Structure 1
Amino acid sequence: MSETRELQVREKQEVNVPAEQTRPGLVFSPLVDIFETDKEIVLLADMPGVSTDNLDVDLRENILTLSAEVVSGKGENEQDILKEYAVGKFYRQFTLSEVIDQSRIEAKLTNGVLRLVLPKVEKATPRKISITS
């Protein structure tokens, strides 16, 4: 029997960091969806307003770090009437296991959604073992 989950829409959430911040401004944790196939894990991160110039995907010591900055689209002579869209930084980290082939990770940003394809190493791919007699 399969379990179904209802998609829950959430607002951007500010990161609650235990350490002191060294830079002013808001820091958000991007919402993610993670999918798995036999050959890869796919991570989708919602980062509205982020451009490829302001996005950094870093991998060090099995830690995958997503960081980005959203800047205001307000023009120089424009004044706020209503401001619901918060600007600031996005930041989120993931620990990668040994099943990920770190040299083949791919990233693509389309319409504010970052898609990371994390290929599995060959030995982690499920396969059928033939039996001989």
Structure 2
Amino acid sequence: MSDTQELKVREKQEVASPAEQTKPGLVFTPSVDIFETDKSLTLLVDMPGVKTDDLDVDLRDDTLTLTGDVSPLLATPGEKVFVEYETGRYYRQFSLSEVIAQDKIDAKLSDGVLRLTLPKVEKATPRRIAVQSE
């Protein structure tokens, strides 16, 4: 890292409601890193505090929608002096192209990071086509 760059902690970014919410609370955009190989795309989605039971990965009409709820931390005895931990819902959508094999998408949640593997469709194997005469 150069001297002019700083390492900054990215806070949960609140976004405008993606649609009319029926559930009160804040909505956050999770940070996402995307990596590509010849065979797949990998998305690493930062969702700290989300448990597997509170995570929904939905694929509909070529749109991949991620939602995850962050529950409040366990209550501790005593008066709150300072609280930075925000609860709410993570929400992010991705439009998928025809190169993604949608029926083979894999999702794993570990230590607050959702790893989505989006395999690409296999291209037709090149082959020589024999021409027959009549």
Indicate the TM-score class for this superposition, using the shorter chain for normalisation.
0.7 to 0.9
TM-score, normalised by the number of residues in structure 1? 0.82
User: Percent identity over the alignment?
Assistant: 62
Number of aligned residues = 123
SS of corresponding position for 1:57: strand
Greater C-alpha Rg: 2
Provide structure 2 residue ranges, at least 5 long, that are not aligned to the other structure: 1-5, 129-134
| Displaced runs of 4 or more, over 6 A | none
Matched residues in 2 for 1:70 and 1:39: separation? 33
> 2:74: which partner in 1?
74
> 1:3: which partner in 2?
none
Deviation string, structure 1 residues 94-123 (Cα, Å, up to 9, x no partner)? 000000000000000000000000000002
SS of corresponding position for 2:123: helix
**Displacement after TM superposition at 1:8 (Å):** 6.0
> 2:102: which partner in 1?
102
- Structure 2 counterparts to residues 45-56 of structure 1, below 5 A: 45-56=45-56
> 2:131: which partner in 1?
none
Greater helix fraction, Structure 1 or Structure 2: 1
CA RMSD of aligned residues (A): 2.5
TM-score, normalised by the number of residues in structure 2? 0.81
> 2:27: which partner in 1?
27
